[in-house]
Amino acid sequence: MSEDWESLFPLVSVRKLVRELSDHNPLLLSSGEEGHEAPKPLEFRFNLAWIKDEKFLPTVAKIWARRVFSSDPIDILNIKLKRFKTYFKGWGSDKY
């Protein structure tokens, strides 16, 4: 960005988002206006206390066993990890 552009749009910011399956990171351009910014997604954090829950490992096994329609090992791993994250994001927040 140039100084002229920044002086015209002083509140604008760019944030790198987490990439899902692509090797590119999406960018979120914010105008900086209050009330018009996209909410920040909650980060996924693995909670060690989940391992103590009797439902955790069977649930992981069930998620991991689901078929993936790809022959690329990296794609398969990424898809399985995304499924895990999607299911467990916020899981057990009422317990731990």
Distance of CA 46 to the CA centre of its chain: 13
Q: Are residues 60 and 15 in the same domain?
A: no
Q: Are residues 51 and 10 in the same domain?
A: no
> Looking at the whole model, is its pTM more than 0.85?
no
Looking at the 3D structure of the chain, how many domains does it have?
Answer: 2
The pLDDT value given to residue 37: 58
Q: Are residues 52 and 95 in the same domain?
A: yes
The pLDDT value given to residue 24: 79
The pLDDT value given to residue 61: 96
User: Which residues form the domain of 17?
Assistant: 1-37
The pLDDT value given to residue 10: 78
Distance CA 2, CA 64 (A): 48
Tens digit of pLDDT per residue, the chain (96 long)?
677 877 787 777 777 777 776 677 788 887 777 666 556 666 778 888 899 999 999 999 999 999 999 899 999 999 999 899 888 887 766 665
Residues near 26 by beta carbon (within 8 Å), at least 6 away in sequence? 16, 17, 19
Distance CA 25, CA 17 (A): 6
Q: Are residues 33 and 68 in the same domain?
A: no
Q: Are residues 75 and 33 in the same domain?
A: no
Is 43 within 8 Å of 89 (Cβ atoms)?
no
